[in-house]
Chains A and B, each alone.
Chain A
């Protein structure tokens, strides 16, 4: 009789294991994943803002450079109603994207993330396809009067690179495969064009959220 009990228990266990595995894999497929907070220097706006935008960006990507202006414009227009969090998603095909992200974060630690990334986006053509490590990373730092020694220590710190890679891994888990990808209150939007299209609804979203 014990054997029969164990067989039935094992069957029940197999059903539970199969069901739980299916649910987790389905959730993964749907891009359900906990989102890590971006470091404070990459977050702009109030935590309670009705519009929460996450941007997965690649500093070497021309479309991201083009989208940067759109994002800044949205931030100006919607002010305290929008919160923008930047996440790195350096694409493998862009040789210096990951390095640029690391430098940008180090500039961010000195309070200059938007200025530094803005400069890198503006002068993207000068460095994105460079064969050697672009000197522009240094030049931008000098122009912004950043502490270069502190910056070098930060760039060499493996934790900085880990943070960038974790962003990219998180993006992958959320179904990001192109840049720039935005998540507006959880809804995925790819490219600045779609973001502008979606922005037509922003007033409604803000109004609704404020009434909730």
Chain B
């Protein structure tokens, strides 16, 4: 059972990261720049490169989590990213900043602060079973077994 939950959590969390990263990577980067600027925590010269690079990192880490590659490291990075985005959203909410366009899935709708917060929190909780369960069914485990089999020969 733990294995099934682990694999399902990995697919869910990784899938969200991949889909969200793909939408962010394919839309006009200017949109991401405006959203980043609206949070008023980083200057524009950081917002621009971040808008180009972050979506790709989302996709990479999403794929790593889904496939179970560098699983612990990817899980920690994803958790850090989610926790950071929660903090950033909270500060924007407390400062009553007019942030619009919060969304994971672009054309499929725009989330409110609360919705986005809860969604990230759920993903954060799912990361634990994703990293700890079903580790037999990961690329990490496959590669390890492969190397051990070669070593035995």
* Chain A residues near B27 (CB-CB < 8 A): 33-34, 36, 170, 173
6 closest A-B pairs (Cβ-Cβ)? Answer: A169-B28, A34-B106, A169-B30, A34-B107, A173-B28, A170-B28
The verdict on A188 contacting chain B, using a C-beta distance below 8 Å, is no
* Chain A residues near B26 (CB-CB < 8 A): 24, 27-28, 32-34, 173
Task: Give, as a whole number of angstroms, the nearest-CB distance from A28 to chain B.
Answer: 6
Chain B contact residues: over half helix, strand or loop, or mixed? helix
Q: Chain B: residues with CB nearer than 8 A to chain A? A: 22-23, 25-31, 34, 56, 59-60, 63-64, 67, 69-70, 106-107, 139-140, 143-144, 146-148, 151
* Residue in chain B with minimal CB distance to A33: B26
Q: Chain A: residues with CB nearer than 8 A to chain B? A: 1, 4-5, 8-9, 12-13, 16-17, 20-21, 24, 27-28, 32-37, 162, 165-166, 169-170, 172-173
Task: Give, as a whole number of angstroms, the nearest-CB distance from B73 to chain A.
Answer: 10
Indicate if the CB atoms of A16 and B69 lie closer than 8 Å.
Answer: yes
* Chain B residues near A36 (CB-CB < 8 A): 27, 31, 106-107
Chain A contact residues: over half helix, strand or loop, or mixed? helix
Known A-B contacts A166-B28, A172-B28; the reply to A24 vs B143 at CB < 8 A is no
Task: Give, as a whole number of angstroms, the nearest-CB distance from A188 to chain B.
Answer: 16
Contact with A37, one of B31, B67, B107 (Cβ below 8 angstroms): B107
Indicate if the CB atoms of A8 and B147 lie closer than 8 Å.
Answer: yes
* Residue in chain B with minimal CB distance to A9: B143
Task: Give, as a whole number of angstroms, the nearest-CB distance from B119 to chain A.
Answer: 18
* Chain B residues near A34 (CB-CB < 8 A): 23, 26-27, 106-107
Supply 19 A–B pairs (Cβ within 8 Å), ascending by A: A1-B151, A4-B147, A5-B147, A8-B146, A8-B147, A9-B70, A12-B143, A13-B64, A16-B67, A20-B56, A24-B26, A34-B27, A34-B106, A34-B107, A36-B31, A36-B107, A37-B107, A169-B28, A169-B29
* Chain B residues near A35 (CB-CB < 8 A): 107
A20 to B57, CA, bound (A): 10
Contact with B144, one of A5, A21, A165 (Cβ below 8 angstroms): A5
